[in-house]
Every structure is written in structure tokens, then in C-alpha cells.
Amino acid sequence: MKITTASGIPVADNQNSLTAGPRGPVLLQDFHLIEKLQHFNRERIPERVVHAKGSGAYGTFTVTNDITKYTKAKLFAEVGKQTETFLRFSTVGGEKGSADTERDPRGFAVRFYTEEGNWDLVGNNTPVFFLKDGIKFPDFIHTQKRDSQTNLKSPTAMFDFWSRTPESLHQVTTLFSSRGTPDGYRHMHGFGSHTYSLINEAGERVYVKWHFLTQQGIKNLSVDEATRIAGTDPDYSQRDLFNAIAGGDFPRWDVKVQVATEAELAAWEARTGWNPFDLTKVWPHADFPLVTVGVLELNRNPVNYHAEVEQAALSPSNVVPGMGYSPDKMLQARLFAYHDAQLYRVGTNHQHLPVNAPRCPFHNHQRDGAMAGANGGAAVNYDPVQSQGSNPHGMGHGEPPLALEGAAGRYDGRGKEDDYTQAGDLFRLMPADEQQKLFNNIAGPLSQVSAEIIARQLAHFDQADAAYGAGVRQALKARGVNVA
């Protein structure tokens, strides 16, 4: 293939700069050389502030069960209906070049290119999170990233934060269990994690939690395997996913949803004391069983990683008619954060890029800015223009009004909300050998921090389950740590 400049002009010579005589110097008019160096200098965009290391693939979502009584979202309109999807997996705390097998939650961010716009469910491989209020997120992430001075990861920062933030205990227990080091991206579940809502044709709302259950089966790496692979094949999960899809071994997840009416949640809250919109809590399956929705299959590798995966910009704010949010403090912060991050990371017009553009026609009055694509063409660039078919104004596409209550204020739930029972329940669910792994996985980094932080963190394990605290103490002692 003939090499050209970016403007399509055939390049005379891509191996030898234009010089005055065979030894040079190089002439400024070698525009091809200059353009080549300039573009190279601008190849990087900022990595994601979190979830920087990731892998993506396209796929198909197929409806297998009718949920139209809960939602009018068109992608669920009939059994058998298919929707194109894009899924980006990731680790959270590491940089773009970090190892895939680090102990970390895994991102599970799915985009559905529906006929009424993109629905992005930006979740993790865990049903809960470390926090219940987004105001703590930047501080929390600072404890997962590098220390300001040493530029090292800091177990002290991590456990200092966790031990002062008991709401984190449920997710900390998940993180240090075997599920903290999944064997690649195909062998783990995905969760929307937050409570979202669905709205049906009649304008009735139910609350839901989304689940993606791997058909490949859960497989985790042992600590030793994860550590070895981090050195020998740091891109292990990327390789596994790409090769599986390239070889026609398409990974699949069963898509399920837990459904609850407002009244059911109110009754559940009255019984358990748990806020159903608290992201550190699960809805136990015994209380809210899983309803089958469909199957998600990944079946197409991106052609260009940077264009399609690095520049992918998913946001939890992207919900389509027939869906809505919930009164979850964490979710509110996220509804703002993603698009804002993408305006900086990718640019003002990131939605014009092929991986981000909806597959359905779209029309608005946003214009211009850097890298504008079709930019609305000749269409009028202002509203209201009823003759062009503006949608009814206001949020929500027929979503019923949501009753909110309470006086504006900053409410501190610490010490008043139950941060221990569900963490203890998860611990008690684990077989003895898994509990032992949990103790050891925690004791590794915990043994490196001060006695004060250890004591504070052990008190949380004790409250979740006496055997949990005792097990971690034992594992610390085995590492030579003197604990009471």
C-alpha cells in the first residue's frame, strides 16, 4: 500500500529525511518528517483516572424472557430481539500498563446500542462498592493509587482509609476473597451494582439490580499464580479475551435482574434496617429472586484498540426511555463524573466517535468545538423548533414523579447504619478453605501497617464475625505481627 501524508499526498521516501547532502543537516521543508514527529508527540490521551487498564469487545444481547411488564425500553420489546453491545473490562487502581492480575475489583462496563440511544451499564464484577457517598470517592481512590511522595502503592493509606470507613467492609471482604483475583475477564460475573429503575408503558416504576452471570463458570487465580502471571504475562486478561473471541470461543453471560416495587423495598427496609439504595448492600436473592432477561455474547474484537477501546466513553447517566436512576448518593455523583471526565480525557465531541455514537438517528443543538464530526449538518441549531419534532420537555420519558423527603443537610450514617451484618453474611457463606485464604490475603498487606491501624481494622472484622477477626489475627501472628 502506498504511504501518504495525513492529507493523502504520496510520500516520496519514508526512510530517508530530506537533507542538504548525504550528511545533512535536515531541511525544514521535509514536511513529511515534521508531520510524522508532531503526530507521534501527540499519540497519548490521558488515561482514565480510574480503570485505566482495560480490554473491550463487541457483542450481541438477546432477549430470552419477556420483561415488558416492567419496562417499555425497546431493546426488551420481544423475546429473540437482538441489540449490538460493547463491553469494556478493566482493573481499577493500576495504570494503563499495570498487570491484569492485580488484586482489585474488575470493571464490567456494558453499552447497549439501542434504537432509542445508548444504554450504558457501567458496573463491576462485585455487587457492592466500598462507599455509599460519592464525596469520599476521590479520597478513596487516592489510597489505591500512588503515594504523593514515594510514588509507591501504600498499604498504610489503604487500611488507614478502610479502617476509618466501616461501610467499606463488605467490599473489602469481597476484594480479599478469591474473587479479588479472577482468572481473566471471561470467568467472572458482572453487576450493575447500584439500584436503578425500570418504567413500563403504564408509567409504573420498579427498582432493579442487574446481574450478568458468567456461562464460563467462576475461575479465580491463586495468589501465587496471580503474582507469577503479573511478571510473566501482565496482559493476561487482554490476551485471553482477544484470543478466545478470535478463535470463535465466544464468552457469554446470562443477564438477570432483581425486581422490587417501592412498597416491597419499604417493607424490606423496615424488616432489615438496610437502605435499599445503599451501594454497600446487596439485595439477598432469597428476598428478591433473579428474573431471567437474556444472554450477552461477546463475538467481535475491535479492529483498533485506541479508537474503539481507549476512546470508548461510557457513562451511567446514559439510560434510555423505560429506565431511570434511583435515590442512591453514589449514583448521583457518578451521573455527573463520567461525562465530565470524558470531556477532558477524549474531548468535547467524544460522542461523535464511532464507538460512542448511537446506532440510531440522533438530533440535538450542540454544535462545533474541537473535532466536531458531522456536527448536525445543515439542520437548525436552536430550539424550540416544534416543527422539527422536539421531544416532550423534561426528564424521564413518562417516568412517574418521584416523591422525595427530608430536610437538606449532610447526614453522617457512621455508627448509625449497619455496616457489619452483610459483610459477616458473606464471610459465613465462604467454606473454611476460602475463609483461610481471606485471612491470609488480608494479613499480607495488613501486616505492613502500624499497630494503631491494625487494631482499628481488626475491630471491624470482629464486629462482622468473631471468627473473621480471630482468623485475621492468627494469620497476622503467623507473619510475626504482635496482635492482641
Q: Which residues bind ligand HEM (CB under 6 A)?
A: 48-51, 54, 88, 90, 107, 109, 122-124, 129, 134, 137, 193, 312-314, 330, 333-334, 337-338, 341-342, 345
CA distance 199 to 452: 49
CA atoms 165, 170, 174, 177: torsion sign: positive
Nearer to ligand HEM, 327 or 444 (CB): 327
51 is catalytic: yes
Q: How far is the CB of 92 from ligand HEM (least distance, A)?
A: 7
Nine-digit cell string for 128: 457492592
Shortest distance, position 314 Cβ to ligand HEM, whole Å: 5
Please indicate whether residue 124 is annotated as part of the active site: yes
Do the Cβ atoms of 136 and 412 come closer than 8 Å?
no
Least distance in angstroms from the C-beta of 56 to ligand HEM? 7
Question: How near is the Cβ of 116 to ligand HEM at its closest, in Å?
Answer: 22
Strand partners, 196: 208
183: cell is 482468572
Name which of 51 and 460 has its Cβ closer to ligand HEM.
51
275 close to 417: Cβ distance less than 8 angstroms: yes
User: Nearest distance from residue 294's CB to ligand HEM, in Å?
Assistant: 20
Residue showing cell 499495570: 98
CA 11 to chain centre: 43
One-letter identity of residue 425: D
Catalytic site residue from 14, 16, 39, 51: 51
Task: Give the single-character DSSP code of 321.
Answer: T
Residue 230 CA to chain centroid, in angstroms?
A: 22
Instruction: Choose, from 124, 349, 356, 441, the residue flagged as catalytic.
Output: 124
Residue 163 beta carbon to ligand HEM: minimum distance, rounded to whole angstroms = 20
Residue closer to ligand HEM, measured from CB, 339 or 456: 339
73, 114 in Cβ contact below 8 A? yes
In the complex with ligand HEM, which residue's Cβ is closer, 109 or 475? Answer: 109
Q: How far is CA 75 from CA 112, 122, 191, 218, 361, in A?
A: 8, 18, 19, 28, 16
- Pick the closer one to ligand HEM by CB: 136 or 252: 136
Contacts of 317 (CB under 8 A, 6+ apart): 120, 334, 335, 336, 338, 339
Nearer to ligand HEM, 341 or 357 (CB): 341
* 25-58: b (≥16 Cβ within 10 Å) or e: eeeeebebbeebeeeeeeeeeebbebbbbbbbbb
Catalytic site positions: 51, 124
